[in-house]
Structure 1
Amino acid sequence: MTVPFQKYHGTGNDFLIIHADEYVPDRGALAERACDRDTGVGADGILYLALEPKFNPPRVVMTLVQPDGSVAPMCGNGARCAAEWAMDRTGTDSVMIDTQAGTLRADRTDDGDITIEMGTATFDPEKIPVDADNQVFEEEIEGLEVTMVNTGVPHAVAFVDDVDDVDLEAIAPPIRYADVFPKGTNVSIASPNGSGGFHQRTYERGVEAETESCGTGAVAIAVVARRLGRTDSDPVEVSPPGGVLRVSFNERGNATLTGPVEHEFDGEVAVESPIEP
């Protein structure tokens, strides 16, 4: 048995999109197989989307299953891909995305990019979560000086001289699995680009590797940089390996994430039926 999918990516952060009505007996197992870049289709996760076009703007219910089989409450680039998918099917330029981290609005810009609201970032240790009595700003954890923030998912953000000089695959896992993070954390590093923006690299929880782009990570870098006085730009340009993202802030200090989305191709993926007792 197979189910159809559409492959989308936002600045290299790529996802298989499967309609939530499709019968998938084990979503976690399918993600582990299909996301594998050697033996599967290859992706940073599977987005299960349910479209509710009767609303104005249309609504999309989004569930992200990551390559390790876990479910992530939020994904900035994934939500932008979900928005493009929904806009393609409804002929609209605005949609609402229901995620486990809240309901967010997405809009198509005049140049064709997708902008999504990212809610309110928090430095509250209980909401990140991190085992700390106070907010964590530039404190050493497993050898790296990090600031902790939750932008829908937790991020440990560190500023370095040059992101290309860092062995991220070596330094990130000890932080990602540090005892102070009861639910783990993403690890994002940033270096200034000379014009108020930053170069970005992110090791993603659930992918368990560096990705070409991370939307929540880009927002985390921009939020932390502004909080620490490292930039006063708006928008803040953040450049992961896969492209350029722009993080803006409204009058309440909430962030939006803007960047391109591309529909790569369509296909079908095999679904294993559960073994009968």
Structure 2
Amino acid sequence: MKLVPFVKYTSCGNNFVIVDATEQLLLSEAEMSRFAFQATSTCFGVGCDNLLVIQRCTAEALKSIADSREYWPTLPDAHQADYLFRMFEPDGKEALCCGNGLMCVASHLFNQHGVSSASILTEIPLETPKVIQIGAGKDKQGGWVNLGHPRRTPAELAVPEHSLSFNSSIDLYPEITIRFREGDLRSAGNTKQLKVKAHLVFTGEPHLVIFPDTDFSIPELADYIFSRSEQWPARDRRESFGTWLVEHIGQYFNTRYKGLFPAGINVNLARQLSSCIIENRCFERGINRETLACGTGALAVAYIYSQINQLSPETIDILPHRCRWHDNQAQIRICRSDNGWSLASVPVMLFDGVYRLLPVNHRALENFAVSPAPLTALKRLTS
């Protein structure tokens, strides 16, 4: 039995179990993938969206990753960052990046180690991980992360020849069909298909951004997706249908369009409320469901909004629709500068504890093997 100290943080409804391995190695690479299930499970573990592991960026740590996972053709430079950001999904696979998770890590480093700003290596599973900056304010609560400049989605995550170029960093899918069963959309004329226009950008994760008011062939569906209890007396019916729509559209993209997005895709449905204030709902590929909020998705929405409307605002506020069911003040502020696009929110440490990681038999371990690089997974899908 191994004892694993952890802290649990939340940011805009995203909950994370953080294992601080900055001073000593607490988990092997295989144990990180296996512990992700216990960390995220509400039945057999702690309960959260993702497991985060923070490590010092050292040659030893990078070599340990390279020895266990088929990520990099050459070992990254250990001197380029202070820390490593690791995020694991419930199935043990390592994810690329997470805005809210990084803000929680920034708050933890400040609260626990007095680190007000640092460089951190993200997108670990890609062939070339990215160095970004994180930090926390003097109030010991606020966290921020500069994710750099949005860019074109790597080819191993999206097949480029099926899209049009909107600009140097954005791919445009002018018409994608989402199909429904007969009767699913009876409130919108009983059609069995919805045509969608979507913009794709990479902000540490691949994100499709859709504004249903203008990008749906049935724009009236937007009112269901962004319905509010004070607007509609039949609250449960409209909100339930809107949530079902988000889930159906997100799952349809991730099951029926594997040819376009072989590693899965995050789907954001957004609505402009006023100038530089946008509401967002995000279906995350890693957990295969809608999340309460998404930092990299918030940045993708803000960036697409500014590019479509040819704006250069210094700040854009993203309101996470699902999180605001529980906290009507929740927001993620996006700040634009020459140095990149930053996120800011108010992460909160919920509690700390120690998890007893029990040994398991070999067959159980097979379900939580270390994850291959996205490019390796793509080759397997297409071979």
5+ residue gaps, structure 1, are none
For the residues of structure 1 that align with 2:111 and 2:90, how far apart are their CA atoms?
26
Structure 2 equivalent of residue 41 of structure 1: 46
Q: Which string of whole-angstrom CA distances, capped at 9 and with x for unpartnered residues, describes residues 56-78 of structure 1?
A: xx932111001232111111111
Matches within 5 A, 1:200-215: 200-215=280-295
Identity %, equivalent residues:
27
* Deviation at residue 192 of structure 1 after TM alignment: 0.9
Report which of the two structures shows the higher radius of gyration computed on alpha carbons: 2
Does the Cα contact within 8 Å between 2:110 and 2:135 map onto a contact in 1? no
Q: 164, 170, 173: which is aligned to 2:251?
A: 173
Contact between 1:138 and 1:147, CA under 8 Å: does it hold in 2?
A: yes
Distance 1:239 1:272 in 2: 40
| Cα distance, 1:116 vs structure 2 | 0.7
The residue number in structure 1 matching 2:33 is: 28
> Which 10-residue stretch deviates more, 160-169 or 195-204?
160-169
Asked if 1:68 is matched to 2:91, the reply is yes
2:257 pairs with 1:257: no
Matches of 1:39 and 1:158, distance apart in 2: 36
Matching residue within 347, 353, 359 for 1:273? 359
Of the structure 1 ranges 207-216 and 14-23, higher mean CA displacement relative to structure 2 is found in: 14-23
Greater mean deviation of Cα atoms: 155-164 or 122-131 = 122-131
Q: What is the aligned counterpart of 1:184 among 234, 252, 264?
A: 264
| Mapped partners of 1:174, 1:145: distance in 2 | 15
**Shift of residue 263, structure 1, vs aligned partner:** 0.4
Note the alpha carbon deviations across 1:12-62, whole angstroms, 9 max, x for none: 111000133113543223212331234432211000112479xxxx93211
Which range moves more in the overlay, 41-50 or 16-25?
Answer: 16-25
* Change beyond 3 A, Cα 1:96–1:34: same
Report the 3-state secondary structure (helix = DSSP H, G, I; strand = E; otherwise coil) of the residue aligned with 2:318: strand
Q: Which protein has the bigger helix share?
A: 2
Per the alignment, in what secondary structure is the counterpart of residue 108 of structure 2?
helix
- Partner secondary structure for residue 252 of structure 2: helix
What is the DSSP-based 3-state SS (H/G/I as helix, E as strand, rest coil) of the residue aligned with 1:137?
strand
Alignment length (residue pairs): 274
Distance in 1 of aligned mates of 2:44 and 2:289: 17
Residue 304 of structure 2 aligns to a residue whose secondary structure is: helix
How do 1:76-95 residues align onto structure 2 when only pairs under 5 Å count?
A: 76-95=99-118
TM-score using structure 1 length: 0.88
Shift in Å, 1:124? 5.1
- Evaluate the alpha carbon distance shift between residue 125 and residue 85 of structure 1 in structure 2; reply closer, same or farther with a 3 A threshold: closer
1:92 Cα deviation from its structure 2 partner: 3.1
Q: CA separation of 1:104/1:228 partners in 2, compared to 1, >3 Å: closer, same or farther?
A: same
- Indicate the residue corresponding to 1:246 in structure 2: 333
Unaligned residue ranges in structure 2 (runs of 5+): 59-80, 166-170, 179-195, 214-221, 228-241, 324-329, 364-383
Looking at structure 2, the residues matched to 67 and 276 of structure 1 have their Cα atoms a distance apart, in angstroms, of: 19
Cα contact 1:131–1:182 (8 A) shared by 2: no
1:106 and 2:134 correspond = yes
SS at match of 1:89: helix
Higher strand share: 1
Alignment check: 8 A CA contact 1:141 1:175 kept: no
Match of 1:250, as an amino acid?
S
In 1: Cα distance, 2:109 partner to 2:282 partner: 27
SS of corresponding position for 2:150: coil
Partners of 2:316 and 2:100 in 1: how far apart? 16
1:164 to 226, 248, 251: 226
Out of 158, 161, 165, which is 1:129 matched to? Answer: 158
Q: Which AA in structure 1 matches 2:33?
A: G
- Where do 4+ consecutive residues of structure 1 move more than 4 Å? none
| Whole-angstrom distance in 2 between the partners of 1:276 and 1:153 | 32
- 1:153 to 1:272, Cα distance in 2 relative to 1, 3 A: same
Contact 1:236/1:248 (<8 A) preserved = yes
- Alpha carbons 1:60, 1:86 under 8 Å: kept: no
Query: How many Å separate the matches in 2 of 1:51 and 1:91?
Result: 15
The aligned counterpart of 1:7 is 8
